[in-house]
């Protein structure tokens, strides 16, 4: 299966929510809910830890996906991810990348290797 990268650059293939969804792993959902609750200051419940990747239209998504400005923008521009955006590095994406530098590194690599459209 090809690498799945979220619009923002998160590596979906290593995301515990996607893995738990693919494998129907209740223990991983519970562990992830606990870790994310501590990390993000939001009370995640194990039943909320289900996701098929933000770029997929069908299937479950983490609750924040419906509100995510990065996702909304990339979908409206019909982009595979933000690396292909003419406005790459916008304030919204840059703000997110302050807390997720690996996601920025990943998108930078995609942009350098494939170019942006």
pLDDT of residue 114: 61
Residues in Cβ contact with 5 at an 8 Å cutoff, skipping those fewer than 6 apart: 11, 12, 81, 106, 107, 110
Model pTM score:
0.79
40-54 residue pLDDT tens: 888 999 999 999 988
| Backbone φ and ψ of 38, nearest 5° | -70, -45
Q: How far apart (Å, rounded) are the C-alpha atoms in residues 15 and 21? A: 10
Backbone φ, ψ for residue 11 (5° rounding): -85, 100
The three-class DSSP label of residue 81 is: coil
pLDDT score, position 117: 42
Whole-number Å distance between alpha carbons of 54 and 56: 5
Note the pLDDT tens digit of each residue in 59-97.
898 877 778 999 999 999 999 999 999 999 999 999 999
Of 4, 1, 3, 7, whose CA–CA distance to 75 is shortest? 7
């Amino acid at each position: 299966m090809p690498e799945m990268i979220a619009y923002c650059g998160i590596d979906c293939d290593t995301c515990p929510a996607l893995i738990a969804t693919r494998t129907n792993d209740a223990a991983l959902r519970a562990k992830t809910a606990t870790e994310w609750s501590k990390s993000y200051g939001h009370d995640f419940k194990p039943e909320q830890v289900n996701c098929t990747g933000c770029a997929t239209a069908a299937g479950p998504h983490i609750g924040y996906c419906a509100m995510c400005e990065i996702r909304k923008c990339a979908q409206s521009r019909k982009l595979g991810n933000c690396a292909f955006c003419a406005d790459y590095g916008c304030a919204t994406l840059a703000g997110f990348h302050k807390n997720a530098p690996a996601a920025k590194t990943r998108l930078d690599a995609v942009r350098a290797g494939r170019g942006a459209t």
